[in-house]
Amino acid sequence: MTSLRLAVDKDSRAIALALLLLLAALVMPRVDLPHDAYDYLLVFDISQSMNVEDYQLEGAPVSRLTVAHEAARRALRDLPCGSRVGWAAFTGYRTIPLLAPVEVCEYYNDLLASLEQIDARMRWSNASEITKGVYWSVLAAQETHLPPDLHPDIVFISDGQEAPLLDPAYPPRVLDDLQKDSIRGWLIGVGTTAPSPIPRIDEEGHRQGYWRADEVIQPSAFGDTGSPAIEHLSGLHEPHLRALADQLGFSYARLTGPASLSETLRDRRFARRRPTPTDLFWVPAAIAVLFLVVRFRPERR
């Protein structure tokens, strides 16, 4: 009888200790621990060529901008807490910041909601001067209200098609004003290399046919009669984006699918080590479960 009472007392103490550990897990505050995090300003090219449907999602054709959105959503999900992400849009020759970088876990739903609003209806120009857009992206990242060492890295997502077509005799020199490696970043190439018709999109985001050859500047305007007149079509201009990346000291990657951007943005070269609020509630919870398993394992009974 005495041994039975002792066993019951031990079981009661084991349960009470486990409950205390579980209560501690519920009220345990976050602890600042050093973690790798990332800071990015994602710039979406919203010019009309980004509406070319040369990707597929779930077996259906989708536009380059749609795939860029899906890729950004997956990247938000995969980036570690403590990382910061903001949005910007490019068309014409300017890059306009839309949302300053915020912490991805605390503001996850807000980031998703604001991402959904970035589409062709925001377009303020039909031009697409990529080189100038990259230049303004760097300025936008440098002008954020943060210390220089906390300026976000740039992720410029575009098919790289300059519209109007650049005059070979007068290439833009705006990037010469920027100090190489003054800020880090990625140029992300979007689309297939095969040229496709560019949808004509109105101010409400509705498709109104396709652009025709006589509606855009062709190489013949600069005396180049040997090049085909295909500027009304759009494919990925990868050599141009690579050249811009080299000029700035950026990295280049191609958006092969929705998952590829997440892997690119978690490149350890862009990681920033800093204290990050970390949940450790699982430690006392795990100890409580382990203690109960050991105390009430079948062989003891």
Indicate where the chain has its CATH 3.40.50.410 domain(s). 39-270
| 301 band by pLDDT with thresholds 50, 70 and 90 | very low
| 8 band by pLDDT with thresholds 50, 70 and 90 | low
Whether the pLDDT of residue 83 is over 70: the answer is yes
In the prediction, which pLDDT does 117 show?
93
In the prediction, which pLDDT does 191 show?
95
Whether the pLDDT of residue 81 is over 60: the answer is yes
Q: What percentage of the chain carries pLDDT values higher than 90? A: 54
**Amino acid in the structure at residue 208:** Q
Whether the pLDDT of residue 25 is over 80: the answer is no
- Kindly report the average pLDDT of the chain as a whole number: 87
Beta pairing, strands 272-278 & 55-57 = unpaired
pTM for the full predicted model = 0.83
More confident residue, 186 or 140: 186
For CA atoms 132, 112, 39, 75, the dihedral sign is negative
List for the chain the helix, strand, coil content (%; round to 5).
40, 25, 35
- 131-175 pLDDT, tens digit each: 999 999 999 888 766 666 678 999 999 999 999 988 888 888 888
In the prediction, which pLDDT does 51 show?
95
* Peptide bond connecting 164 to the previous residue in cis, omega within 30 degrees of 0: yes
Class of the CATH-defined domain 39-270: alpha beta
Measured distance CA(90)–CA(124) in Å, rounded: 9
Measured distance CA(267)–CA(263) in Å, rounded: 7
- Per-range mean pLDDT, top range of 22-36, 142-156, 228-242: 228-242
- What are the Cα distances from residue 83, in Å, to 4, 78, 255, 280, 301? 55, 10, 21, 18, 49
Whether the pLDDT of residue 4 is over 50: the answer is no
Specify burial of residue 247 (Cβ count, 10 A radius: 0-12, 13-18, 19+). Answer: middle
- 264-299 pLDDT, tens digit each: 999 999 999 887 666 766 677 787 777 777 777 766
In the prediction, which pLDDT does 145 show?
62
Residue 105: closest CA among 125, 136, 81: 81
Q: What is the mean pLDDT of residues 31-41?
A: 83
Lowest-confidence range among 103-107, 156-160, 196-200, 205-209?
Answer: 205-209
- 43-76 pLDDT, tens digit each: 999 999 999 999 999 889 999 999 999 999 999 9
Q: Are 128 and 93 in contact (CB under 8 A)?
A: no
